[in-house]
Structure 1
Amino acid sequence: MRKVLYILGNLSDEDIEWMARAGRRLDLAGGQVLVRQGEASDSLYIVLEGHATVDVAGVGTVARLGSGEVVGEVSFVDSAPPSATVSADGRCIVLALAKREIEARLRSDGGFAGRFYKALAIFLADRLRGTVDRLKYGKGQTMDAGRIMEDELDEGLLDQVSLAGARFERMLRTLMAARG
């Protein structure tokens, strides 16, 4: 869940409302593919419930993503095809945001663009730091997914955590209500 806090903590309430309205809620079955390695994806995803696995051809499973994780952000930033396949690990609910809609909003709203790209930069920096930390454990080993790092949240972001958590909960309620 903490990953989405980087995104939602930097966006405004209006941005979050737009994401909830513009996005599609997808209820996936185990094994259903969100992103396929080497194939362009037309959406950016936020895992709302459940888990997804990240697999790299020739390597195997490299990560397991949970609630609040973002999928497809690297390809969104650099337009290169995805470097991994991401699949639902059991039942998984995601918010799918069409890249063309995000790009249109970025072009029409400079404030949103600044907030969105700052949020992605912080998110990607955190992911890179986590990857580097896991490399310390040696080839073929992974860090315990449940382990909490002492410096997991930058102190400068702590003020935004409560607000971001409330925004995530509001987004979930909006999306779940739209389902019914």
Structure 2
Amino acid sequence: MSGSFVDFTLLARATEDTRTFGAGEIIFREGDAGTEFFVVKSGKVAIRHGNKTLQLLGEGEIFGEVALIDSAPRSATVVAETDTVVVPVSEKQFLFMTSESPYFALNVMRVLARRLRASNTALPDG
């Protein structure tokens, strides 16, 4: 496994369905229902919990996938850091891709594992 970044750019190029957000616009809020995840086609987004920025994501990265996996409300707020274009991927598309492509499912798991490791590293020793 080379590097920890998984590139989902191909998924973003597979459709013309996009959404555009200006810098500072909220893409979704913590607590919202999650019926889709997103691929960043261009720009940067910030994943925030309260007033803390947990992660900055750019082109080819995904966010919002956790709500599709566990059917729980969004666990963070996502804000466009710059003018941003995202590609929405519906729950139906997500289920199809994970069932038809084990490699896609493995890549999503790699993203989740990388984020979990980063969160664990950020925890204070105690």
TM range (shorter): 0.7 to 0.9
With normalisation by structure 2, the TM-score equals 0.77
Judging changes above 3 Å, is the alpha-carbon distance between structure 1 residues 17 and 78 closer, same or farther for their aligned structure 2 residues? Answer: closer
CA contact (8 A) 2:35 2:67 kept: no
Partner in structure 1 of residue 5 of structure 2: 3
Instruction: Tell me whether 1:84 sits opposite 2:60 in the alignment.
Output: no
Larger of the two Rg values belongs to structure:
1
For residue 36 of structure 1, the aligned residue among 11, 29, 35 is 29
Shift, 1:35, TM fit: 2.1
* Aligned CA-pair RMSD: 2.7
Judging changes above 3 Å, is the alpha-carbon distance between structure 1 residues 33 and 135 closer, same or farther for their aligned structure 2 residues? Answer: same
Partner in structure 1 of residue 100 of structure 2: 111
Q: Partner amino acid for 1:129?
A: R
Larger helix percent: 1
Partner in structure 1 of residue 19 of structure 2: 26
With normalisation by structure 1, the TM-score equals 0.57
Q: Among the aligned pairs, what percent are the same residue?
A: 27
Q: Partner amino acid for 1:125?
A: A
Shift, 1:41, TM fit: 2.3
Judging changes above 3 Å, is the alpha-carbon distance between structure 1 residues 20 and 122 closer, same or farther for their aligned structure 2 residues? Answer: same
Q: Which runs of 4+ in 1 moved over 6 A?
A: none
Partner in structure 2 of residue 162 of structure 1: none
CA contact (8 A) 1:24 1:97 kept: no
Shift, 1:70, TM fit: 1.0
Partner in structure 2 of residue 63 of structure 1: 55
For residue 91 of structure 2, the aligned residue among 96, 99, 104 is 99
CA contact (8 A) 2:6 2:107 kept: no
1: CA distance between counterparts of 2:11 and 2:120?
34
2: CA distance between counterparts of 1:46 and 1:81?
19
Gaps of 5+ in 1: 9-15, 139-180
Shift, 1:86, TM fit: 0.2
Larger strand percent: 2
Q: Deviations over 1:93-130 (max 9, x none)?
A: 11111223333x25xx8432x23322211111111122
CA contact (8 A) 1:47 1:70 kept: yes
